[in-house]
Amino acid sequence: MLNEFDLFKDFLRQQNLRWTPQRKMILEVFLSFEGHVEMEALHKQILIHQPDLGIATLYRTLKLLTDCGLIEAHSFQNGKKTYERMFHVRHHDHLICTRCGDTVEFEHPLIEKYQLQICEQYGFTLKHHKMELLGICRNCLK
């Protein structure tokens, strides 16, 4: 069974790019996080392992990881960009607080069912979707 490292190596090979120690380390550090990862937290952790790694290398590697489908980038209302693991992760949607940026992941079978029915009604073949519901969380309403 393929893992994230094998998939990324294959993707890089197809793009005529090299599997470098920096790319390996960035993927290892990213995979050590749970849930959504902000760039600042990821960069801080990477600097512990490799203090001379430039931010541009990190951005380029995250773009490659996104392009190969291992991670997904989210730009939420608060302007912060987060990244989320996509390999071997169950599909889910997001509730996003527009005040504090807190993100809650949720699943609901009826939503998925209705989306498929709507696609069928319009003769549309669904490949992927993401739902982000924007609002104010209960902590910010207090």
Task: Report the C-alpha gap between 84 and 66 in whole angstroms.
Answer: 9
Instruction: Give per-residue pLDDT as tens, 41-100.
Output: 999 999 998 999 999 999 999 999 999 989 988 776 566 788 888 876 677 788 888 888
Judge whether residue 11 has pLDDT over 60. yes
Nearest Cα neighbor of 71 from 83, 89, 82, 58 is 83
Q: Given this model, what pLDDT does residue 59 score?
A: 92
Q: Given this model, what pLDDT does residue 29 score?
A: 94
Judge whether residue 16 has pLDDT over 80. yes
Q: Given this model, what pLDDT does residue 115 score?
A: 87
Amino acid at 34: E
Q: Given this model, what pLDDT does residue 94 score?
A: 81
Do domains 4-85 and 93-141 share one topology? The answer is no
Q: Given this model, what pLDDT does residue 89 score?
A: 66
Q: Given this model, what pLDDT does residue 46 score?
A: 94
Domain ranges of the chain: 4-85, 93-141
Task: Measure Cα distances from 93 to 18, 119, 130, 131 in Å.
Answer: 34, 18, 6, 5
Handedness of CA 113, 118, 121, 126 (dihedral sign): negative
Instruction: Give per-residue pLDDT as tens, 100-141.
Output: 878 888 888 898 888 889 999 999 998 877 788 888 999 999
Task: Report the C-alpha gap between 36 and 110 in whole angstroms.
Answer: 25
CATH number given to 4-85:
1.10.10.10
The residue whose two tokens read 């509730």 is 95
Q: Which of 1-5, 17-21, 69-73 has the lowest mean pLDDT?
A: 1-5
Superfamily classification of domain 93-141: Ferric-uptake regulator, C-terminal dimerisarion domain (3.30.1490.190)
